[in-house]
Amino acid sequence: MILLNLDNVAKYYGTHLIFNSLSWQIGEGERIGLVGPNGAGKSSLLRLLSTQEPPDEGQAAARRSLKVALLPQEVHVPGGSTPLSVAMSGSADLGALIAAIERAETAFADPDVYGDMERLGAVAEEHARLVQQYEEAGGERLRNAATGLLTSMGFSLTEIEEPLSTMSGGQKKLAYLAGCLLTEPDLLLLDEPDNHLDLEGKARLEATIRAFNGSVVIISHDRYLLDETVNKIAELEGGRLRLYIGTYSSYAMQKELEMVKQQADYVAQQKEIQRLEEAVVRFKEWASRVVDERHIKQARNKQRQIDRMEKVERPVLQRRKINLQLHPHQRGGQKVIELRGISKSFSNNGHGTNDVLRKMSGLVHHGERIGLVGQNGAGKSVLFRIMAGEMEPTTGEVWVGPSIRLGRYTQEHQSLDMNSSAVEIVRRVKPMYEEQAYGFLGRFLFSYEKARRPVRTLSGGEKARLQLATLMLSGANCLLLDEPTNNLDIESTEVLESALADYEGTVVVISHDRYFLDRVVDRIWELKDGRLREFDGGWSDYVEQGQR
């Protein structure tokens, strides 16, 4: 049964056309991954599916009584919210009641209220009335369901009632996802639900999506997540939507074979068109020499053949991508970095210390590709800062080879001067004429106008590409990469994977992108409880050893 139908819809932002004449039917039980380059309009399409925004042209028709829930790319946390209150606010009526009860409870602490018996009595009466309404509306049942769902997503019983504003971006998204699920939607729309989640969080997210009984459309740059959760891929590119049956890996293979076949068909058809066009010219020339109606008819017939052909479009075998090439200026020694009994402690607001790293030792050899994994908060970025010399360990030392030149990619783009332009930044890394700098940035998909803007105004993807550009210019022979695929679309991630495969230096990378880890690293460092454990192989080998 069809849940929702888009019929020749179009969407504009101002005068800019995002997509046009787009049609799509979503049926019951479908699990769809929506993919495409950054800026293709995926989030806009998801909002059309949610019926939050009408199309500018065409029609969006939903099945009567269809319930749709949308998890947006960016979630906004109201002040004082907890994971439990956010999850329960998915029910609009109960959400309003909970907010009213919280306001009444806040009023009890107001000196003007508890010092005035009449006002205190009125507030107590209102509070009792609201609590009764809450109970009659099934509030306790929903609370129990929300508690069970949140704990299955990794929240502890104490965390579900703590301020959400103090939690990670991934936890905020999971709380909002719980709210979406508790509305029991027929169609669940997820816009990059895995952003900011660690590996354990992603595994829980995948289990949650697989357990959902309705239809799902997911936008994600995590190819592993798509392989685990969807059975169909919808590709949005150049304003067109194309559907492929299977997981992301299946889609990638189908797409490659399709491009090869389209190229062969295009070449064959162009040869046939050329042959027919030459025949048209020949018959016209004969007709001009000897007046013969037969030659004129033959020329017309050949031209009709050309006009009636269903033309094969010239395939875009190579969409414009970033041009990333990583070449160290020198090889460096065989021993790159050695951790010698590293410990790191932080003061815990006068209540002792928090030991993040504990007597940690490890050795990085030339040419190795090491993936550093662990839960959010395990200390991965702290370890990177110590390895890069940006932070001193509490005890122990880091030895870096004398011929080693480190290149650093920071997760929050802290290495970039936010007040400078991209042009100014690359010219600081490597002296060059301004024209050369603009040309170089063009290889990373920066327009002239974008290259002149302050970095703080750029998108996350643009900042990521700029960091990669500076790494390319640095000539470093050891790269410390902290979540380099965050904010990159799938194509840019694949370019990075290829560049790292050709790179002759050493790589240590923090990543929650399991597909990326499988394609890039040959050793895993697991950071857990302040200690380091080593495993040979990539992510899949690590999982097979029961470490997930």
Q: What's the mean pLDDT in 166-180?
A: 86
**pLDDT at site 293:** 76
Confidence of residue 318 (pLDDT cuts 50, 70, 90): low
**pLDDT at site 364:** 95
Tens of pLDDT, residues 232-260: 999 998 888 999 999 999 998 888 888 77
Strand partners, 34: 219, 234
Rounded distance, CA 340 to CA 395, Å?
A: 9
**pLDDT at site 319:** 58
**pLDDT at site 242:** 92
For the cut 60, the answer to whether the pLDDT of residue 387 exceeds it is yes
Residue 290: other Cβ atoms inside 10 A: 8
The residues near 49 (Cβ < 8 Å, ≥ 6 apart) are: 4, 6, 26, 60, 68, 187, 189, 217
Closest Cα partner for 502 from 249, 328, 318?
328
For the cut 60, the answer to whether the pLDDT of residue 317 exceeds it is no
Confidence of residue 497 (pLDDT cuts 50, 70, 90): very high
For the cut 90, the answer to whether the pLDDT of residue 215 exceeds it is yes
Confidence of residue 76 (pLDDT cuts 50, 70, 90): confident
Asked if 88 and 97 touch (Cβ cutoff 8 Å), the reply is no
Asked if 253 and 520 touch (Cβ cutoff 8 Å), the reply is no
For the cut 80, the answer to whether the pLDDT of residue 137 exceeds it is no
SS3 state of residue 462: helix
**pLDDT at site 349:** 67
Rounded distance, CA 230 to CA 460, Å?
A: 26
352 phi-psi bin (left φ>0, alpha ψ -120 to 50, beta other): left
98-107, 144-153, 397-406: range with lowest mean pLDDT: 98-107
Question: Where is 57: in which H helix or E strand?
Answer: strand 57-62
Asked if 337 and 397 touch (Cβ cutoff 8 Å), the reply is no
**pLDDT at site 320:** 64
Rounded distance, CA 461 to CA 112, Å?
A: 51
Q: CA angle 41-46-50, nearest 5°?
A: 150
Strands 478-482 and 406-409, sheet pairing: parallel
Q: CA angle 418-192-212, nearest 5°?
A: 160
Tens of pLDDT, residues 79-120: 778 888 888 876 656 667 777 777 777 777 777 767 777 777
Rounded distance, CA 85 to CA 89, Å?
A: 6
**pLDDT at site 291:** 66
**How many Cα atoms sit within 13 Å of 418 on the Cβ side?**
7
Confidence of residue 321 (pLDDT cuts 50, 70, 90): confident
Q: For all residues of the chain together, what is the average pLDDT?
A: 86
Asked if 513 and 224 touch (Cβ cutoff 8 Å), the reply is yes
SS3 state of residue 246: coil
Tens of pLDDT, residues 253-287: 888 888 777 777 778 888 888 888 888 888 777 77
Residue carrying the six token digits 């068109």: 273
Share of the chain above pLDDT 90, in %: 45
Asked if 373 and 525 touch (Cβ cutoff 8 Å), the reply is yes
**pLDDT at site 32:** 97
Confidence of residue 343 (pLDDT cuts 50, 70, 90): very high
For the cut 70, the answer to whether the pLDDT of residue 352 exceeds it is no
**pLDDT at site 266:** 76
Tens of pLDDT, residues 9-60: 998 877 888 888 999 999 999 999 999 887 788 988 999 999 888 899 999 9
Instruction: Identify the residue with better confidence: 5 or 460.
Output: 5
Asked if 159 and 83 touch (Cβ cutoff 8 Å), the reply is yes
Closest Cα partner for 430 from 393, 472, 465?
472
Asked if 534 and 523 touch (Cβ cutoff 8 Å), the reply is yes
The residues near 414 (Cβ < 8 Å, ≥ 6 apart) are: none
The residues near 103 (Cβ < 8 Å, ≥ 6 apart) are: none
